[in-house]
Amino acid sequence: MTSNNGPSAPRSTAATTITVVAAVVGGVVLFGAAVSSTLNAFGAFAPRVGIPFDEQLSLSRDIVDDLTDDLSGNGAAGGSAERRDGTSGTGPAEELRAPVSGITDLEIEAAASSFTLEFGDVDEAVLVVERSADRTGEWTMRNDDGELVVERAQGSRTAGCVFGCGERGGREDVTLTLPQSLGETGELNGDLRVVGGELKASGAFAQLDLEVGAGSLVFTGAATELDLGVQAGGAEVEVADVRTAKVEVEAGEAVVRLTGSAPKLVEVEATTGSADLRLPPVEYRVDARGELGEIDNRLASNEQAKHVVKVRSSLAEVTLR
């Protein structure tokens, strides 16, 4: 009688060999797929013959934006604005409209786009988005208790493409037009931020907060209080009739021109990078302290002056004139 309690028979040499070979082949296939995906992704950054370097750099930036947006996940668009879809010469376009009755504050976050804020002959807020055909994503505009909030919803700009997207970065142009009356009274508070891309804006504000996380910002107009922060990138700002101004530069470049009546107080704090301030031609009481940086004071100084300029610089170059 044969017993079933003894040790099981050893596997045949042929079976073992087949198992090992299958595992090795499977590993090679997976490794090859991973290498292929990686080369596709980084191949987009390889130098291209016959294309100027500045164009190659622009293409690489678009690819980085694509990867960042694709990995951030998809977000649902929301808000109370009326959406109207259409087409333009460059691809899909959309238009959003929202009433501005009771609006006292404006918040804009411009991300990965070319954004323009202007005031014109309209009776409500009009947001127009024009993008190339390979660009996806949504913008939202809503009235949040008297604050008009405009921002880009998170989501893919390249229809789910993560690796091997080549040069599908595309372009997105966004224009927000507000009623002319809002930009003339000087009673509207503005909080304008750019995170990648560029933001161009104008208008008269009461309190104006400008922030550059990355990219570029250009503003022309007026404000009672100005607060400018540059974390990376560059800002060119020309503002009239400012009472108090605060400029902070962590890295990058800030060029600020204050016109009209002279400000009572200007505070500058620069860690690295540079800050160039041009002020109305009056006498100032200047308190400037720098470490390892350079402060070039060309202002007319008077210890008894009622207009005060304070500068704190670490490794930055600050010019006052």
**Has residue 68 got a pLDDT over 70?**
no
Domain-embedded: residue 37: no
Percent of the chain with pLDDT over 70: 64
Does residue 299 fall inside a structural domain?
A: yes
Residues 276-301, buried b or exposed e (16+ Cβ, 10 A)? bbbbbeeebbbebebeebebeeebee
Per-residue pLDDT, 112:
83
Is residue 279's pLDDT more than 80?
A: yes
pTM to 2 decimal places: 0.70
Say which residue, 86 or 232, is predicted with more confidence.
Answer: 232
Check residue 83 and give its pLDDT.
53
28 belongs to a structural domain: no
Average pLDDT score over the chain:
77
Q: What pLDDT does residue 285 have? A: 98
* pLDDT of amino acid 291: 83
CATH code, 292: 2.160.20
Residue 91 — very low, low, confident or very high, per pLDDT cuts 50/70/90? low
In a domain, 241, yes or no: yes
pLDDT computed for residue 63 by the predictor: 41
Residue 31 lies in a domain: no
Please give the residue range of the domain that contains residue 103: 72-320
Instruction: Look at the chain and report how many structural domains it folds into.
Output: 1
- Cα separation, 172 vs 135, whole angstroms: 7
**29, part of any domain:** no
CA 95 to chain centre: 21
On the question of pLDDT at 226 being above 50, the answer is yes
Query: If you ran DSSP here, which 8-state letter would residue 204 be given?
Result: E
Does a structural domain hold residue 51? Answer: no
Query: Phi/psi of residue 29, each to 5°?
Result: -65, -45
d(CA 241, CA 263): 7
pLDDT at 48 over 70: no
